[in-house]
Amino acid sequence: MVNYTAQFLTICGLHLLAVAAPGPDFAIVLRQSITHGRPSALWTSVGIGSGILVHTSYSLLGIGLLVKSSLTAFTLMKIAAAAYLAWIGVKAMRAKPAAVDSIQTGTTPTPVPSGRSAFMIGFMTNALNPKATLFFLAVFSVVIDPQTPRLVQAGYGLWMAVMTAAWFSLVSLVFTQEPVRRAFLRLGHWFERAMGAVLLGLGVRLAFASAGK
């Protein structure tokens, strides 16, 4: 029986570096944690993890190679992701000041999204990210041996999906602790607007990114 331990550990290390690096996923989880609270943040984290399964699926099918080789396909995906982040960012930047009693009680006037909506926010943020596409393309075409059984490769993808959801769930638990969340809420709508600017900036940066960066 072939031992895939070294291959798996390499994937673990690369995935840890990728998931811990600040980016759209982290920004959206942070916003959900502070603005909407723990349930929304956790559902968003699960959505982000589920988005990993999309990248795994097309990597196994070889579609990722098509996206990278086709400038049109990559550009369309990039524009869709940039537009989505910009849309969320603009909405956040239009946040209105919260009432004093809302800040004191740790609540905000922003409507809390349903679990399904929070899940889809995380799912779309990750699934549309072309940077994630390039990461998984590199993992499945360079790190993983072509002779590795598809079932084992699918197992790698499932592991990364679960670990991604777990990581961002941990981030959610940290930033939804009352002392932490209340400290951010004291900034009121300025925090929401700042996060909106970050998301908008990530969208603009993504729009002008090339496949090789």
Burial of 58 (0-12, 13-18, 19+ CB in 10 A): middle
In this structure, is residue 160 part of a structural domain? yes
Cα–Cα distance, 115 to 121 (Å, whole number)? 10
Looking at residue 209, its pLDDT comes to 66
- What's the mean pLDDT in 161-180? 93
Looking at residue 102, its pLDDT comes to 47
Provide the domain limits for residue 200.
25-95+111-207
Convert the pLDDT of each residue in 32-75 to its tens digit: 998 888 999 999 999 999 999 999 998 888 765 666 666 676 77
In this structure, is residue 136 part of a structural domain? yes
Amino acid at position 47, single letter: G
Contacts of 110 (CB under 8 A, 6+ apart): 35, 36, 95, 192
* Structural domains of the chain, count: 1
Q: Greater confidence, 208 or 148?
A: 148
In this structure, is residue 18 part of a structural domain? no
For 102, the token pair is: 């809302």
In this structure, is residue 140 part of a structural domain? yes
In this structure, is residue 49 part of a structural domain? yes
On the question of pLDDT at 212 being above 60, the answer is: no
Amino acid at position 60, single letter: L
- What's the mean pLDDT in 14-34? 88
- What's the mean pLDDT in 14-39? 89
Convert the pLDDT of each residue in 97-140 to its tens digit: 554 444 444 455 566 778 899 999 999 999 988 778 878 887 88
What is the signed CA dihedral for 56, 199, 164, 127, rounded to 10 degrees? -20
In this structure, is residue 57 part of a structural domain? yes
Which single residue is written with the structure tokens 């990993």? 52
Looking at residue 4, its pLDDT comes to 83
pTM: 0.77
In this structure, is residue 124 part of a structural domain? yes
Q: What are phi and psi of 58, to 5 degrees?
A: -75, -20
Contacts of 162 (CB under 8 A, 6+ apart): 49
In this structure, is residue 1 part of a structural domain? no
Cα–Cα distance, 175 to 95 (Å, whole number)? 20
